[in-house]
Amino acid sequence: MSFIHKATISHDLKEKRKIRHERFLIILLFITILLVPRCNKKNEASSDQSLSPLALKPDKIVGLGRIEPELKLLNLHSEVPGIVIKIPFQPGEKISQGEAIIELSNAVEKARLEQSIAKVQTQSFQVKAAEASLSAMKIRTANAKLNFDRIKKLYETDVQTQSSYDQAKSEYESMLEDIKRLEAELISAKNLLKQSQADEKLALAEFERKFTKAPVDGQLLSLDITLGSLLSPDKSFGTFAPSSPLTAWCEIDELFAGEVYLGQKAYVRYEGETDPLTWGKVSFVGPYLRKKSIFSDDIGDLEDRRIREVRITLEPDTKLLLGSRIECVILLNE
């Protein structure tokens, strides 16, 4: 075989090998393109599974809170305007239910009340006098009836005259009419007494409105007035804390609002700390999501965030300052 023929054969073999190699690379590239999406889907599925809600579910929820009595803090208002003339208690003192926290000027109302009381007493005496007159007339009428019956029997046997019979009958019937008149006077006197008693109640109510009294047993927290201050009903003059169990009134973000239930164990801590101050249980869960934070002081503030109100009743011996800002930690696995 000639040298030229051998060279041609060698060149053809190289070309065939090159073509096979290129085909192999093309097939390998095609297989790689097909397999990559499947691997990505598996990785995404694995990633989604690792980020499932069950895997992310927390074991506790933390929300901002405030220490308050169970009956909440009360803003004190006066029912009527007036000038403060007496302040029997100072902030920090305990007050029993019904005791006056402040007294407003009440000279006119006091005089009207005293006048109404006097009218009631006078009318009471008139009622008693009318009752006595009626009672005496009934006794006299009973005697007149006995006398009339006796004369009537004698008249029927021709022992008494016609004039004696007519006179006894007239006296008896006249006394019967007097009884009806006195009964009407008694009813009128009693009605006037009721009216006077109603006037007394009204005068007493007007007088009592000059006193702002404690609705329940509790503690006076603050007073924003002094003697001589002019009060108006639309403005609060102080803060009152009713005697009731200590609680933490807190807000839970809407993301975890559905995880809170009555009876869950919880504790409170100062903001930014980890140590519990005291323990308690969830005693109230708000029935809806509020648009506004319970800690906002301005009712006109706009809030995009929604929260759920939650109350935690703390242990009986808890000693925390009312109004303290704290963090409420609710345990979900307890």
Q: How does pLDDT run along the chain (334 residues), one tens digit per residue?
A: 444 444 455 556 566 666 666 666 666 665 666 555 554 544 544 444 444 444 456 789 999 999 999 988 999 999 999 999 999 999 999 999 999 999 999 999 999 999 999 999 999 999 999 999 999 999 999 999 999 999 989 888 888 889 988 899 999 999 999 999 999 999 999 999 999 999 999 999 999 999 999 999 999 999 999 999 999 999 999 999 999 999 999 999 888 888 999 999 999 999 888 899 999 999 999 999 887 666 665 545 555 678 999 999 999 888 888 888 999 999 988 6
Strand partners, 284: 311
Which H/E stretch holds residue 146?
Answer: helix 107-156
Judged by DSSP in three states, 189 sits in helix
Residue 289: C-alpha distances to residues 214, 281, 298 (Å): 33, 21, 19
Domain edges within the chain: 3-55, 57-72+240-331, 78-104+215-235, 107-208
> Which string of DSSP letters, residue by residue, matches 15-70?
HHHHHHHHHHHHHHHHHHHHHHHHHHHHHHHHHHHHT-HHHH--SEEEEEEEEEET
Topology (CATH level 3) of domain 107-208: Helix Hairpins (1.10.287)
Beta carbons within 8 Å of 299's beta carbon, 6+ residues apart: 292
Report d(CA 312, CA 281) in Å as an integer: 5
Angle at 295 between CA 292 and CA 296, to 5 degrees: 60
Radius of gyration for the chain, computed over Cα atoms and rounded to the nearest angstrom: 48
Cα dihedral angle (89, 92, 95, 100), rounded to 10 degrees? 30
Q: Of 82, 29, 66, nearest to 326 (Cα)? A: 66
pTM: 0.65
Beta strands in the chain (DSSP E): 60-69, 74-76, 82-86, 94-95, 100-104, 211-213, 218-223, 230-231, 238-242, 246-253, 265-270, 278-285, 307-314, 325-331
Residue 321: C-alpha distances to residues 193, 221, 241, 248 (Å): 54, 11, 12, 11
CATH architecture of 57-72+240-331: Beta Barrel (2.40)
Report d(CA 108, CA 100) in Å as an integer: 19
